[in-house]
Structure 1
Amino acid sequence: RSMASGGGIPTDDEQATGLEREVMLAARKGLDPYNILPPKGASGTKEDPNLVPSITNKRIVGCICEEDNTSVIWFWLREGEAQRCPRCGAHYKLVPHRLAH
């Protein structure tokens, strides 16, 4: 039996098994059951804040402020209204997240 349907190198679909396959299939549907995919970017404005999932009512957030920054600005994000990064002013909002298990 050939490793790939065309006889060449198998595709990710043909090769993936277990958790890798489960995550790949969920990602196609726009789901992230284990919260391992990169977050979807937002504009970071008050009207469109960066959404930060959390299972508690607060979480530490790191903002790099600018693309080529070498330091991270860490601050506590609490449940409720969107909050701003103390340095660059980007907005972040905590959203409830339920674990898959």
Structure 2
Amino acid sequence: MLAQRTAFALRRLAATSSAPLRRNIASSAVVRQQGIEKKIKTFDQIKTKEDLLGPGAAPGTVPTDLEQATGLERLEILGKMEGIDIFDMKPLDASRLGTMEDPIVVQSFGEEQYLGCTGFPVDSHETKWLTVSKDRPYERCVECGSVYKMDYIGQEDHGHDHHGYEEPKTFADYVRPEYTARFPAAKQ
């Protein structure tokens, strides 16, 4: 009943509206972008951090994402414009169950990575969020038992002190050493 009333009200408004046709907002953004494309660097032209600063909008106009984005957001937008997925957002391999001998590998540029396990076979349980890190590269899903391993591909530490930060302890820190000896890179 509510949908019928809403549809009737919209028809009535459309029939009585005498406003002139306006140009579509999306098409105006495309027209404006064509005028500034000479200022915007392409993905291949990005070499330094300074290249990741957008040109900004002309005074009195609303900036587009391409004009105002900076840093990683700008790099992602420029990559998507050229069909490059810079953050590798494809799903993890869910065609098999990861084991300690053959874990499902997750590559990461950061020292810590969050991943969601939906089980094996796929979607056999609710998403369980797991954390793998450079210090603890292996993690096992508590629901299905699948094992994941983080492969750190980022830059090696350049000697920067993290101001005395110590990672909080978890139950994994209290496992006896003889139980962790069979795991390849377990923390001792």
Show structure 1 runs of 5+ residues with no match: 1-17, 24-32
Which of residues 67, 71, 74 in structure 1 aligns to 2:126?
A: 71
* Corresponding residue for residue 105 of structure 2: 51
In the TM superposition, what is the alpha-carbon distance from 1:40 to its structure 2 partner? 5.0
Please give the root-mean-square deviation of Cα atoms over the aligned residues, in Å.
2.8
Q: What residue identity is the alignment partner of 2:116? A: G
Larger helix share, 1 or 2: 2
In the TM superposition, what is the alpha-carbon distance from 1:38 to its structure 2 partner? 4.6
In structure 1, distance between residues paired with 2:98 and 2:132: 14
Q: How do 1:5-16 and structure 2 match up within 5 A?
A: none
Which of residues 58, 82, 92 in structure 2 aligns to 1:19?
A: 82
Residue 151 of structure 2 aligns to a residue whose secondary structure is strand
Show structure 2 runs of 5+ residues with no match: 1-80, 156-188
Q: 1:39/1:64 Cα in 2 relative to 1: closer, same or farther (>3 Å)?
A: closer
Q: What residue identity is the alignment partner of 1:74? A: W
Name segments (4+ residues, structure 1) moved above 4 Å: 36-43
2:110 and 2:154 in contact (8 A); partners too: no
Higher relative contact order (CA 8 A, sep 6+): 1
In structure 2, distance between residues paired with 1:56 and 1:50: 18
Q: 1:85/1:68 Cα in 2 relative to 1: closer, same or farther (>3 Å)?
A: closer
Q: 1:98/1:85 Cα in 2 relative to 1: closer, same or farther (>3 Å)?
A: same
Radius of gyration: which is bigger?
Answer: 2
2:133 and 2:150 in contact (8 A); partners too: yes
**1:40-61 deviation digits (Å, cap 9, x = unpaired):** 5664111111111112222111
TM-score, normalised on structure 1? 0.52
In the TM superposition, what is the alpha-carbon distance from 1:19 to its structure 2 partner? 2.1
Q: How many pairs align?
A: 71
Q: What residue identity is the alignment partner of 1:54? A: S
TM-score, normalised on structure 2? 0.31
